[in-house]
Amino acid sequence: MDAVPAPFVPPAPKPRTKPPSLLQMLRIVYRNPLELWGEPSYNEKWISISTGVGGPLVIANDPGLIRHVLVDNAKNYKMARVRQKILRPILRDGLLTAEGDVWKRSRKAMAPVFTPRHINGFAAPMLRRTEAFAERYEGETDTVDVARDMTMLTYDILAETLFSGEIAGEPGSFAKQVDHLFETMGRVDPLDLLGAPDWLPRFTRIRGARTMAFFRRLVADTARMRKEKLERDPEGTPNDFLTLLLKAEGPQGLSREEIADNIITFIGAGHETTARALGWTLYCLAEAPWERDRVEAEIDAVLAREPDPVKWLDAMPVTRAAFEEAMRLYPPAASISREAIEDETYEDLHIRKGAQIQVMPWTVHRHRKLWDNPEAFMPERFLPENRDRIDRFQYLPFGAGPRICIGASFAMQEAVIALGVLLSRFRFDTVAETKPWPVQKLTTQPEGGLPMRVTPRARKSD
């Protein structure tokens, strides 16, 4: 009998054994916040720091406390200050950054856009886009950067499901502006961490402001173009996100400005997140070929009998488990942050008004008391027969509670369709230069990229 190989342990920063100085801390937070966390963050239920930079801070790792903050007493928590300072100038009143009544009205207006019927309707364009994208690997002999490629793929899919390709302006300029926007604006500025007043310019963001104005004009023109088409030819207008959002326009629904904010939000929240998770999945599978064999076998069997991509998510538990395990180890959103509105107590933890609460999928997903062998890539944890052992609040790639990711089903469907198409046709292998290092920017990115060799798979019938 073959020996069972030891599970693959992918790269991650070692927990710190002593706290950094203030200067070191600012440098780490700017460069890679994942390198900040020490042993207690991976072992304790919570850590409460009463005199942190920017006020009191609670790191929440305990599923009970997480449930308390995100669900049971969610009304006592608003979006954290630093997060809003980074994201609100870009996303304004989009769902991710809206608060209070605007958020409530928008979430209600947008719920019908994300129904299973509409998500299922996106399966065919997801399949079409992935198949067209996969053509680039035919005859490819050089190594390719799978990290970059996955952002292109998920951008193609999002552009198709948002606008069906009907974008104002030059083709290609939209994608370029998006990249530039988030690269220049979506960063933690040390001045925000120190709680500096808003009138002090954030040099990290100045470069992004012009791109922002250009991008907003492009989105407004695209929406206007579509609105005219919808009035002229409702039957011939594609039923994509933009049409669905424009149908939600009105006093009880969304204003035109909010529609633009949400389009930018969907692009910001819904393309790089899925791309990172796909990239890390392909990387982990390549480093654990015994797991990859199981995924490939499942995909071959399902594709041979089920051409309808709507059915793939339910039909592929092994593939789904690999994707979920990659999101455990590399949660695209590494932290979920809130701010306490009033003083309150949870068990013996006193939470002060204004305290920043960090629920960190990064540390919760790697917590020593919550997971066996937490550093190892072991997709079987997420197979249906084992799933019950995972507490709802110890696995949070999409968050939880009223502000849970509205695009979670979209992302899961997209991921399984993308993996189904790519892994049925190609084998993804690492090469000597594949040495990714996880870095937290807006998402958990592989620094150094994911250079990989992509070769056609020999089919059973070949």
Q: Which residues bind ligand HEM (CB under 6 A)?
A: 95-96, 107, 265-266, 269-270, 273-274, 277, 332-333, 336, 397-399, 403, 405-407, 410-411
Strand blocks (E) in 102-157: 144-145
| Cβ 457 vs Cβ 138: under 8 Å | no
Closest distance of CB 139 from ligand HEM, Å: 30
Closest distance of CB 156 from ligand HEM, Å: 13
With a CB cutoff of 8 Å and minimum separation 6, the contacts of 304 are none
Q: How far, CA to CA in Å, does 306 sit from each of 123, 181, 315?
A: 13, 40, 9
Closest distance of CB 129 from ligand HEM, Å: 14
Closest distance of CB 166 from ligand HEM, Å: 18
Residue closer to ligand HEM, measured from CB, 162 or 315: 162
Closest distance of CB 167 from ligand HEM, Å: 16
- Between CA 363 and CA 134, with CA 288 as vertex, the angle to 5 degrees is 100
**Cα 123 from Cα 133, distance rounded (Å):** 15
- Between CA 114 and CA 74, with CA 103 as vertex, the angle to 5 degrees is 100
Residue closer to ligand HEM, measured from CB, 273 or 430: 273
Sign of CA dihedral 168, 442, 359, 158: positive
Q: Give the H/E segment covering residue 349.
A: strand 349-351
Closest distance of CB 97 from ligand HEM, Å: 8
**Cα 369 from Cα 347, distance rounded (Å):** 19
- Measure CA 166 to chain center: 25
- Measure CA 62 to chain center: 22
The residue assigned the tokens 């409460």 is 48
In the bound state, the residue with its beta carbon closest to ligand HEM is 407
Residue closer to ligand HEM, measured from CB, 417 or 453: 417
Closest distance of CB 72 from ligand HEM, Å: 15
The residue assigned the tokens 């999945």 is 281
Longest dimension (CA), the chain: 68
Tokens of 135: 């053509």
Residue closer to ligand HEM, measured from CB, 83 or 202: 83
- Closest to 375 measured CA to CA, from 388, 384, 385, 362: 362
- Closest to 446 measured CA to CA, from 459, 433, 455: 433
Residue closer to ligand HEM, measured from CB, 291 or 324: 324
Closest distance of CB 367 from ligand HEM, Å: 17
- Measure CA 194 to chain center: 27
Residue closer to ligand HEM, measured from CB, 362 or 398: 398
Residue closer to ligand HEM, measured from CB, 26 or 74: 74
SS3 426: strand
Residue closer to ligand HEM, measured from CB, 219 or 406: 406
SS3 240: coil
Residue closer to ligand HEM, measured from CB, 47 or 336: 336
Residue closer to ligand HEM, measured from CB, 26 or 244: 244
Sign of CA dihedral 259, 401, 416, 139: positive
SS3 12: coil
Closest distance of CB 96 from ligand HEM, Å: 4
Ramachandran area for residue 32 (φ above 0: left; ψ -120 to 50: alpha; else beta) = beta
Closest distance of CB 453 from ligand HEM, Å: 25
Closest distance of CB 151 from ligand HEM, Å: 12
Strand duo 451-456 + 444-447: pairing? unpaired
Residue closer to ligand HEM, measured from CB, 312 or 453: 312
